Amino acid sequence: MLGQWLDWSLDGQLPDKKQGVFPSGSYHLYAPGVLELTPNTASHAAHACIFSAAIHGNETAPVELIGEWLSRLEAGSAILGAPVLVILGNLPALKAQQRFMTTNLNRLFKRELRAEGEEPERARALMAAVDNFYARHSGLPKLHYDLHTAIRDSRYPRFVVEPFADSSTDAEQWDWLAAADMQAVLHQHQHSWTFSHYSKHYHAAQAFTFELGRVAPFGQNDLASLKPMLALLTALSEGHSPAHQPASQMQFFKVQHELIPHSDDFQLCFAEDTANFNRFEPGTLLAQDGEAGEFRVGDTPLHVVFPNANVEVGARAALLVAPVT
């Protein structure tokens, strides 16, 4: 039954039977792409967990990873010990195998959202699903792992973005992430209105955006490299303490600057296929804008993350980051 969930979600319809059981718990299909799992017996160490994927429709490795985890639950080889909300975000884009249909869903998770259209409506539905899930499990610590893959190569193929919020990140989270073979952590410097940011900002959840390699079609992902990540998801869903490794194994970065187009006459002044975390030396010209002029690296080297010149005026074209020392 759980193995058919992806097919039901892509069809955009719910089966007649929206609730059922599996060896260690029960499931409830609230909407296409929104599945809640409830354990028969909750562990004393359980979190209220949200695992989300396909916020961008062409990022398939997280969908396959979640599918493998669900298959283990259905087979009884993994035991559910914590409530888990599983979300597939942008279903039309997932079906079309493109990043989004009209608007980047991962910039819309803000309660004051006024935009209209398919993706804004989906953002509202997912925010409500998160609110209701955390309300149903208000006595448990909250956690949200939003799983992605990057559109380009990276000098750290597996890295994590920590959203900006007033609430702090528990120290144990870094040890869990290191054991899951994450290689770098990027601390956001301001509100970004991504899905993980929503859970951290509004619910004080332990929340991260994971970049798990590079975008690839279904069936072409390197899932072997994600076995430590699967082990982390499994441990959390079982209500167990995950494996630990020293956080010092990861390189930590902090955002220093954003490159934002101020006019249509904007360009990034480096190769389009430049890898995430590529380093630029002082004085290097990084961007030119018809209104804002040139941007050059100052006295300290900077690394670029998520460069994309094909964004609207006022949107982020790149993050410039520096190692945390």
- What domain range is 94 assigned to? 2-249
What backbone torsions phi and psi does residue 277 show, to the nearest 5 degrees? 70, 15
Tell me, what's the pLDDT at 1? Answer: 67
Kindly tell me if the per-residue pLDDT of 182 is higher than 70: yes
> How do residues 185-201 score in pLDDT, each as one tens digit?
999 999 999 999 999 99
Please say if 211 is a catalytic residue: yes
Over residues 248-267, mean pLDDT: 96
Give the CATH number, domain containing residue 66.
3.40.630.10
What backbone torsions phi and psi does residue 38 show, to the nearest 5 degrees? -125, 125
Q: Give the pLDDT band of residue 74 (cuts 50, 70, 90).
A: very high
| Strand arrangement, sheet containing 266-268 | 266-268, 285-289, 293-296
Over the Cα atoms of the chain, what is R_g? 20
Of 201, 221, 249, the residue at which a domain comes to its end is: 249
In this structure, the answer to whether residues 228 and 108 fall within a common structural domain is: yes
* Distance (Å, whole) CA 100 – CA 92: 8
* Distance (Å, whole) CA 236 – CA 45: 9
Kindly tell me if the per-residue pLDDT of 225 is higher than 80: yes
> Is the Cβ–Cβ distance between 90 and 105 less than 8 Å?
yes
**Identified catalytic residue from 112, 211, 258, 281:** 211
What is the 8-class DSSP label of residue 315? Answer: S
3-state class of 259 per DSSP? strand
In this structure, the answer to whether residues 173 and 24 fall within a common structural domain is: yes
Over residues 144-169, mean pLDDT: 96
> Is the Cβ–Cβ distance between 127 and 50 less than 8 Å?
no
State if pTM tops 0.85.
yes
